[in-house]
Structure 1
């Protein structure tokens, strides 16, 4: 330590004379016999103490704890700090955080007690202070500071903290004995990683701790610390009786066999999986932490993102058939679907309670409920506190063939807590058995359709009350080769056209219409009014933006309004037709490696969306000037250089990011035998030959590795890469892979679509 000890510090034989009481208060639990004693060390700590009974602390579950000499308990690592402060960015319990020094006397000791006498004592205390909570303790962790001097040498302190738990519910007791006055800074209370739950005992001086209380017992404070704070009323009960998911990054429950089969868009399932990364699947667990629609599976994703219950939180589930819960979910369905006769016979409830993002910044609380009576099925998604995140995320559902697919469209995840499709903030509800029953009342001129995840009746084509349907068509022309340069030139031409006859009939002459930029007017071609613009020098007011699945070019066809000066109203007829072109943001590429080099590429073209070209090209050299071509011999241990290129997007605004690259012995990207080359944007640490040479900087990314084969399986390998496109203006696209840099940093955009490309070598 670099602080100087005062001359008046008490010697080892003198500190006991400062005690004001001859005996400890009755509220102390027994200590001393059987306790482990902390090392005598200024600002020291215990070793990591592994708990027999894990302790749940504001949604995070801990299997170890540290008793720090300066009057506090921490979970992830020891803490030597002697100056107390809130908002420390850690989970901490501090019965009296100040500058203590057991080098000059006193004892700091601890034990985890499961004796029947102590468990009965703490169970009785919890019943007294929390009479409405059903609870029987299974563990009491007791840490005691007995006559430990302040560092200043003036006075000593005696106090105790008890962590009481039954695995699901957790409480802390602060017991204060003799607390001397001090001029040192001190603090008593607790705090959490994000300081969402934080409390400081409001005592004017340290000695007041011995005579204050929040439960009317002098010298004792008690708190319940297992639950996430401020969960909304729309959450169903959880915790008691739930099965808790394994603590595992990207892990999942075992197969959960349902008492009541669940009908999901025509398919009936008798089992389900609760996956740690915020989604439910039916046929197999899913470890994917990067969300994407069109996954080719039935999936329900209340919040699909990269979560990490290894660092805290609880993911739990149960199938509830109790009358109270069934009445609650039946009432909810009847409220949101008043025309659908329904009485629930089962509610499957899965809850993510205070689970951290993988980035370590922020927590999420949400719940999904599958409600069924065997024939009709609904899902309720309840959102509590959702922290903002730079990670990619998606909320919604999808089906095997994506015939029923819905993604909640919001700018950031935290908005989930205040959004709804049923006018009930923090709750989204969907009818998912097939939806036809809702539309039994549709007339012969109406059809049943889904909008915003909710089914209802809409007018049939040709029966619209408004006949001004203008037939707008949007085309995107990606010119891969600019003849004037003879080189690839990533320029996209967009073309939108509208039927001139219907414009005329509706009173909109062509000369009155323009795009966002009033100077961009259309030309008549084959009976249509055509507007053309591009993404470079002639953008015509086009706006480039992004959501969680696409980046989007948006513009609109507008009519001139003559208006009346600055009036905010008009009685003239006017037009504003907004249109957009969306690019999906993920690709999966495959490159089988053999002895014959063949060019390979893929063009991505989706109805109503943009087109771009993705290529994976192997090179001889690190300068990427000499690609493989024709018949070649590739030797084991030969250095390979691979480029992944995207054409047809804006090189000034879009970058290509390599997320994962791997090899398999057969041409199957999901083959069980694989060797990772790049994982989460960084080289596989188990393969020292892999280098990520360029990533997330431009529309081309580079990496290299030394050639290998799979032992005893095949003399060929098949190379696969997963990429995403990033809007550069939103921030850094690829993370740093330097040693010590935290993995999976902020990404600017989300992922969406999967595809495959093959190239032979």
Structure 2
């Protein structure tokens, strides 16, 4: 067991940022809506939680799940690992990771969870999913909400905390995950190489999901880099601090997924460092690629996860 610095501070309930329609980006959580709380423990987790409606996650049907303090909802086994790995995982563990990092709720914060078929919650989830997937005519039958509320990081010497949420929903056939973010102010615990005062550096948090089949997985942009601190300002549904995916079959609203990276509709890019295959994200959510090289006046250069044809930095104007 890693040692615990003597730093404890008060925690208050926080309901997240406000979206463009005036609602909190995070769905309601806490004791007032009947949430339970995970154990207060370093790298702790719940025992297996039976769920009343099976949840299909890329072809596998699950009847129970775990809520892990380190920012993960997992299937099959709990997750005590505190330094995140990039997806896909070598061990094939299937889980949803709103913010996989070294959370320590002994130093601050609570991890809430509940299964619900409460009509107002089902109605709100139904409304949101149909807004992002307008042709599916989805009607939520079941919802599971896990919320990490103002949680601290391991060996913290600051009062920095993070608030984020994972929401799972199904109609009995189709399955969705919604990842919501409130204030995110740290990325790394000290045991992962982070600075005890700033909560930054080292190996930062991983966000997204891993199906377990090494084919269907997604790394939210910035994962395991310093840029993950800005996750509350990113989105694939034009709601800052929200990412949404259909996970019975892999669909991401607002764009396409190419080799576990997200491209918006009509984005163009080159497949690799040769810049000999040009790709475009079509509005049907599929990426189409054709043989096409950079124009002679441009050079192939990396840009985030993709490659683009750009004017050489050494060119004269």
- Normalization by structure 1: what TM-score? 0.32
In 2, Cα distance between equivalents of 1:456 and 1:425:
15
Label 1:388 to 1:497 Cα distance change in 2 as closer, same or farther (>3 A).
closer
Equivalent residue number for residue 403 of structure 1: 215
Could you list the per-position Cα deviations for residues 487-543 of structure 1 after superposition, in whole angstroms to 9, with x for gaps in the alignment?
xxxxxxxxx4859xx87xx9956xx55567xxxxxxxxxxxxxxxxxxxxxxxxxx8
1:384 counterpart residue number: 182
Q: Is the 8 A contact 1:278 1:303 kept in 2?
A: yes
* 8 A Cα contact 2:71 2:101, kept in partner: yes
The answer to whether the 8 Å contact 1:301/1:397 transfers is: yes
Cα displacement string for residues 269-311 of structure 1 (whole angstroms, at most 9, x for unaligned residues): 0000001100111101110111112221111000000110111
3-state SS of 1:318 partner: strand
Q: Secondary structure at the match of 2:106?
A: helix
Distance 1:557 1:242, change over 3 A: closer
**Residue number in structure 2 paired with 1:599:** none
Q: Unaligned regions of 5+ residues in structure 1, if any?
A: 1-75, 78-89, 92-191, 193-224, 439-447, 459-465, 475-495, 517-542, 567-761
Q: Say if 1:396 and 1:407, in contact at 8 Å, map to a contact too.
A: yes
The answer on whether the counterparts of 2:294 and 2:309 sit within 8 Å (CA) in structure 1 is no
Question: How many Å apart are 1:239 and its aligned residue?
Answer: 1.3
Q: How does 1:247-266 map to 2 (within 5 A)?
A: 247-266=40-59
User: Which position in structure 1 is the counterpart of 2:26?
Assistant: 235
Distance, in Å, in 1 between the alignment partners of 2:134 and 2:174 is: 14
Structure 1 residue 294 corresponds to structure 2 residue 106? no
Is the 8 Å Cα contact of residues 417 and 425 (structure 1) preserved in structure 2?
yes
Among 258, 268, 277, the alignment partner of 2:70 is 277
Report if the CA contact (8 A) 1:387-1:413 is conserved: no
Cα deviations by residue, 1:215-258 (Å, 9 ceiling, x for unpaired): xxxxxxxxxx7313755412212112211101111111010000
Residue pairs, 1:254-653, within 5 angstroms: 254-292=47-85, 293-295=87-89, 296-360=92-156, 361=158, 362-389=160-187, 390=200, 391=202, 392-410=204-222, 411-435=226-250, 450=257, 474=273, 496=274, 498=276, 508=295, 512=297, 514=299, 558=310
Q: Measure, in 1, the Cα distance between the counterparts of 2:108 and 2:142.
A: 29
Q: 1:248 to 1:343 in 2, by over 3 A?
A: same
| C-alpha deviation, 1:450, in angstroms | 3.6
Q: Which moved more, 1:282-291 or 1:358-367?
A: 358-367
**Counterpart mapping for 1:14-93 below 5 A:** 91=9
Bigger Rg, which one: 1
Distance 1:341 1:497 in 2: 40
Instruction: Count residues with an aligned counterpart.
Output: 266
Q: Secondary structure, in 3 states, of the residue corresponding to 2:145?
A: strand
Counterpart secondary structure, 1:309: coil
Q: How much has 1:353 moved relative to structure 2?
A: 0.6
1:388 touches 1:412 (CA, 8 Å); kept in 2? Answer: no
Offset at 1:419? Answer: 1.2
Distance in structure 2 (CA, Å) of the matches to 1:423 and 1:455: 14
Distance 1:514-1:308 versus aligned 2 partners, 3 A rule: closer
Aligned match of 2:39? 246
Check conservation: 1:431, 1:454, Cα contact below 8 A: no
Tell me, yes or no, if the aligned pair for 1:366 and 1:381 is still in contact at 8 Å.
Answer: yes
**Per-residue CA shift, 1:699-741, capped at 9, x if unaligned?**
xxxxxxxxxxxxxxxxxxxxxxxxxxxxxxxxxxxxxxxxxxx
The equivalences for 1:696-711 within 5 A come to none
Cα distance in 1, alignment partners of residues 264 and 298 from structure 2: 34
How big is the shift at 1:364? 0.7
- Unaligned 5+ segments in structure 2 are 1-5, 19-23, 188-199, 278-290
The structure with higher relative contact order (CA 8 Å, sep 6+) is 2
1:570-611 residue CA offsets vs partner (Å, 9 max, x unmatched): xxxxxxxxxxxxxxxxxxxxxxxxxxxxxxxxxxxxxxxxxx
Output the CA distance in 1 between the equivalents of 2:114 and 2:84. Answer: 25
Given that 2:145 and 2:166 are in contact with CA atoms closer than 8 Å, whether structure 1 keeps it comes out as yes
Select the structure that is richer in strand.
1
TM-score of the two chains, using structure 2 as the length reference: 0.72
Cα distance in structure 2, aligned partners of 1:403 and 1:393: 21
Instruction: Report the RMSD for the aligned CA atoms in angstroms.
Output: 3.8
Q: CA deviation at 1:359?
A: 3.7
Q: Would you say the 8 A contact 2:130–2:138 is kept in 1? A: yes
Residue 340 to residue 363, structure 1, CA distance change in 2 (3 Å): same
Runs of at least 4 residues off by over 6 Å? 452-458
The SS at the match of 1:412 is: helix
